[in-house]
Amino acid sequence: MSVPTVHAAGAPAGPSTMQGLRLRLKPGRQPGGLVHGAWWPRSTQLATELRELLDVLASRSGPIDRVIYDENLWASTPLRIEVRGHSVILEASRDQSINTLSVIGQRFGKLVLLVVPPYTKPTRAYTAVMTASKPEDCSSADELLGINAREVEDRRLALIAQQRWESEGGALRHGLDPGPPVLALPGRQVRRAH
C-alpha cells in the first residue's frame, strides 16, 4: 500500500517508493471540509520539503506568495525560499492549526493541507491522506491523524508549559530558590524531599 504520489518536473507518475511527492488534493474547485488535501513529507526540514511541494502547486495553480506553518512541527526554517524564480514568505505561527499548512497565492487564494508527520506509520499515513482527500470529508486534522481527546489535551498543556517556560526566560532566575522539585501526577502535585 503506497500513498498516491504527485511527481514534479515531468517525472513518471506511479506509486511512491523513495521518490516523489506524497500529496493528494480533493478534486474540484470548492472542496468541502477543513482541509483541501494532505501532504506526507519525509522529514521535518520544512524548507527542503517545501521546494517540491510548492513547485508542483505553482505549476498547477500559479505563483505562491506565502506559506503559514505550525512552528512546533518543523525544525528551524528560513524566512523565505525561492520557487520557480519567485520569493515565497515562510511564516511560523502558533495560531496555525496543528498538523496543517496554509499555502497562499493570488490566483487560488488559500489552500489548507493536512500535514501527516514524517514519522507516521505508513498504513496510518495512507489512511489519513486518502480520507483527507475525499470531497465530502469534514474531519479535523486531529481526527484524520487518529489523535484522541486525551492526546489533544496533553499537547495543549505541553504548549502552555513551553510558552510559560520561554516567557520566564527559559531558565531559573538568578538568586531565587526554586524549592524542592515537584513531581506532577494527574490531578495532584507531590513535593519531593531533598
Q: Residue 136 sits in which domain range?
A: 7-149
Asked whether residue 157 is assigned to any structural domain, the reply reads: no
Domain count, the chain: 1
* pLDDT tens profile 54-86: 999 998 888 999 999 988 788 888 999 998 888
187 domain-assigned = no
Flag whether 172 is in a domain: no
Q: Write out pLDDT tens, residues 151-174.
A: 666 666 676 676 677 677 765 555
* pTM of the complete model beyond 0.85: no
Q: How many CB atoms lie within 10 A of CB 153?
A: 10
Spatial neighbors of 28 by CB under 8 A, at least 6 apart, are 135
180 lies in a domain? no
User: Domain for residue 175, yes or no?
Assistant: no
Beta bridge partners of 77: none
Does 19 map to a domain? yes
Q: What is the average per-residue pLDDT within 25-39?
A: 83
Q: What whole-number distance in Å separates Cα of residue 26 and Cα of residue 132? A: 8
* Per-residue pLDDT reduced to its tens digit, 114-149: 999 999 999 999 999 999 999 988 888 888 888 766
